[in-house]
Each structure stands twice: as C-alpha cells, then as structure tokens.
Amino acid sequence: MRMRPIVGPVPDTGIRPAGGMDEIAGQLAAGGVAVLTGAGISTESGIPDYRGVTGRHRRHSPMTYQDFVSDEENRRRYWARGHVGRRAVAEARPNAGHHAVQALRAAGYVDAVITQNVDGLHQAAGTTDAVALHGSLDLVVCLDCGTIGPRDELDARLLAANGEFLAAQDAAGLRVNPDGDIELPDDIVHTFRVVPCARCGGVLKPYVVFFGENVPRPRTQRCFDLIDAADSLLVLGSSLAVLSGLRFVRRAAKDGKPVSIINLGPTRGDALAHAHVALPLGQALTELTERLARPQTSTAGAGRPPGREAGHRGDGRG
C-alpha cells in the first residue's frame, strides 16, 4: 500500500456519530478491542500532528520517498534537519494517553495496539507489542544492502562529522515537525555532511515509511490479522487522512464491528463510526480507565471482560 500525501486539514463533512463516552466505555468493557492510534495521542508529549488542532502540515510538507531517493541535496536537508530535530523527539516522554492505553491493554480490555506514529512512545509506556505501522525513528536502514541498525549509532557518526555545525544549532524555539525534523534555513543546511552506510557505503534512510512509500506487506497483513481477530476498533488521535490507517476502519466496519473514534477534529472515518468523542486523549482515556476500574458503574458490563486474562482474548485466539 502506497501512502498518499494529503495537504491540509480533513474537511468537516458535518457527520456527527451519535455515540459518546458511554458507548466507548461499553465497547471497552466488552473487551476484544483493537486500538489504532495516530499523531494526536502524542501531541500532549510535545510532538505536533499534521492535521489536527496542533497540526503544521499546512505550512510544512513532509519529505516524500521519491524526493529522498532521487536527490542528494534532499537527503542532506533531511538528515541535517532530522538530526537536530530528533533531540526534541528523543526527549519526549509518554503522556497520560499512552499510559492509559497500556493500562487498558494490561487489564484485558484491549487486545491489540496499532500505531501510525514513529516516535516509540507506546513502547516506552510499556506497550512493547504495539505494531508500528509506519516504522520507527529509532532505526535506520541502508537502501543498498538492507542493513537495519540503531539510530543512536548513526547520530554518533553524524555528530563526529558535523560537530561544529551541530554546536551552532539550538533546537530550542525552533519548530519541530511531526516526522522529527526541525525547520532550519537552507543557506546553512548545505554545509551538513551526510555519512554513508558503515557496512557498504550505501544510502541510509530512517526506518520509517515516507509519504509515497509502500508499507511492507507483512506488516500490513499483521495489522489486518489483528483487526480481523478483534471484536471492535477504537481510533485514538487520528484524522484517518491517509489510507494506510483508514483501510483498517473500513475493514472493521465492513465486517460489522463497532468503530469508535476519540479525536479533537473531524476524521475521514466518521461516517463509519458509531461514536466520536472530541476530547483531549489524556483526559478522555484517563476517564475511561477510571470508569472501568470502578466495581460499580453505569456502564453495562464494566470490569474485566469475563473469561479474559490480561492482554489475551478469552476465546483462545491470543
């Protein structure tokens, strides 16, 4: 599946699913929930999204795969900006939303987590089995020999090659973009030195799916399998503007499974959802975990799903 760059916010169609927090609490109480998260869950950790309330996509177009592989200057610009900007992403910490997702996973309400984010914050919050649909900024891959290695090792090599350049750049006060780069003037970017693959001398790329690039087929199939095994789908902090996420909503809805959304703005999946709550995710998810933790609530079936152990389905499908 090829990711398509979509410029601008998602249009508001006026569709308003009738359900709210009660419906989502009931969905979670029933268990068997697959969660799909987007950039909106990380905004409270200081990482902006592209199209939501904090979105900057209207002023910044992300690097496409074609631009990256076809032009050495584009790669220089990406690595210069990305190396400086990664400091902000590396210092980000999981927020209440990430921790709530892990709490729901550990309690047995959530069976699977798929994230469109590349920031690693779900994993840092303890959801180590979250499927990173679009890869991870913590890794790099060589486009020539295929070697995958840690980003920290590349950062050390870039620091050795560009110490003076980096010492002159202060990320404080500069605008960090959702893909981890930071906006630097082009007239200083041209002095940045890019390093090749240490194994073969080839071109290095972050181990993330760029716009215009295919999500690896095995990873896509893994996500479809998780959606198929789930009883319902909960979307958190995604406008579903890119088809790589929207297709999972369509798959669940086609199979007759309830779809709920918590997102501050409209989404492309609203017409398929039975509930859409417009609240900050930290607030909404904390409220949901507290409601489910109470022994007596107004939500039918609240409490751990019968027959389920933490992190596992009750029907033996794992």
pLDDT exceeds 90 at position 2: no
pLDDT exceeds 80 at position 311: no
| Res. 91 pLDDT band, cuts 50 70 90 | confident
Residue 292 tokens, joined: 């489910």
What average pLDDT does this structure show over 61-68? 86
Helices assigned H by DSSP within the chain: 21-30, 65-70, 72-91, 96-106, 121-124, 151-161, 163-167, 186-189, 217-229, 243-254, 281-293
Whether 134 is a known active-site residue: answer: yes
Q: What pLDDT does residue 316 have?
A: 34
pLDDT exceeds 50 at position 318: no
Q: What pLDDT does residue 16 have?
A: 64
Q: Which of 57, 99, 122, 134 is catalytic?
A: 134
Q: What pLDDT does residue 176 have?
A: 58
Number of other residues whose CB lies within 10 A of the CB of residue 293: 13
- Tell me: the pLDDT tens digits for 203-235? 999 999 998 898 999 999 999 999 999 999 999
Short-list 72, 135, 128, 75, CA closest to 98: 128
pLDDT exceeds 80 at position 172: no
What average pLDDT does this structure show over 252-261? 97
Q: What pLDDT does residue 8 have?
A: 56
